[in-house]
Amino acid sequence: MRLDKFLCDMGEGTRSQVKQKIRKGAVTVDGLAVRQPEYQVHPKNCICLEGRPVSYVKLEYYMLNKPAGVVSATRDPKEPTVLDLILDKRRKDLFPVGRLDKDTEGLLLITNDGALSHSLLSPRKHVDKTYYAKVEGLVTEEHVRLFAQGVDLGEEKPALPAVLEIQEAGETSLVLVTLREGRYHQVKRMFQALGCEVRYLKRLSMGSLRLDESLKPGEYRKLTEEELENLKTGES
Ligand code: URA
């Protein structure tokens, strides 16, 4: 890989910024100053920028507790995005695995691992996603039955069977919903189809990955080795 691309990929500036630094002699490869941006490097080379080692990171994995008010996108002309919250990211090619609505909180995996993302989102893999919701309206055993049957969302096919657990039933009901697919606004639309409105929604888990409840909205951390391994092997 070219030296300028290496530094750029590692978040050390734009291509033209890192080229300038290289030409100024601020970069060493294995102890020797290299002034050619096109110089070929290998992740095993010891590369320093202004005396500071820059190690190569290929894949990154962050668990974010998404707050309300940010969009699940890599960039947006007007709104803050979930990627703006990951302050110490190394890679420039991170993206959120799936989308949560702007007003939805909770678990969002941010990575640049396209294969893992594909396996978690593929409709054929049926990865469970569990949400906590506050719902306006009385949620009853009849709703539980209808969710289990597959709610008609007015699309070609009804929603796949989903598990609805009632934690508290009342004017506002507190529930857990587990889905095996991820259609647009799915939880909100399933409740709307049955005459209820979701007032608050938070994702708690995706496959084996559970939201670390010590993360406040807007906070994030790297996945542990074990979390990553379980996600990759599909173990819970
Ligand atoms: N279902 C919704 O309605 N919104 C989300 O953000 C996620 C699932």
Span 139-174, pLDDT tens digits: 999 999 999 999 999 999 999 999 999 999 999 999
pLDDT at 236 over 60: no
Going by C-beta distance under 8 Å and a sequence separation of 6 or more, which residues neighbour residue 15? 4, 5, 8
Nearest to 212 by CA among 79, 106, 70, 98: 106
Instruction: Supply the pLDDT for residue 196.
Output: 95
The mean per-residue pLDDT over the stretch 98-109 comes to 97
pLDDT at 235 over 80: no
CB 6 within 8 A of CB 39: no
Pocket mutation for ligand 1, best pick of 103, 107, 131 (most atoms within 8 Å of C-beta): 131
**Can you tell me which atom of ligand 1 is nearest the CA of 179?**
8
Does the Cβ of 72 fall within 6 Å of ligand 1? Answer: no
**Can you tell me which atom of ligand 1 is nearest the CA of 190?**
3
Return the percentage of the chain with pLDDT > 90, whole number: 88
**Can you tell me which atom of ligand 1 is nearest the CA of 185?**
3
CA of 40 to the centre of ligand 1 (A): 45
Does the Cβ of 107 fall within 6 Å of ligand 1? Answer: no
pLDDT at 69 over 90: yes
The overall pTM is greater than 0.85: yes
Does the Cβ of 127 fall within 6 Å of ligand 1? Answer: no
The mean per-residue pLDDT over the stretch 81-99 comes to 94
Does the Cβ of 102 fall within 6 Å of ligand 1? Answer: no
The mean per-residue pLDDT over the stretch 32-61 comes to 94
CA of 160 to the centre of ligand 1 (A): 15
Residue 60 to residues 49, 114, 228, Cα–Cα distance (Å)? 21, 11, 10
Does the Cβ of 185 fall within 6 Å of ligand 1? Answer: yes
**Residue 37 buriedness (CB in 10 A; 0-12 / 13-18 / 19+):** buried
Q: What angle (nearest 5°) sits at the alpha carbon of residue 175, between those of residues 170 and 136?
A: 45
Rama region for 31: left / alpha / beta (φ>0; ψ in -120 to 50; rest):
left
Pairing of strands 95-96, 220-222: unpaired
What is the C-alpha separation between 191 and 212, in angstroms, rounded? 27
- What residues act catalytically? 101
CA of 227 to the centre of ligand 1 (A): 23
**Can you tell me which atom of ligand 1 is nearest the CA of 72?**
6
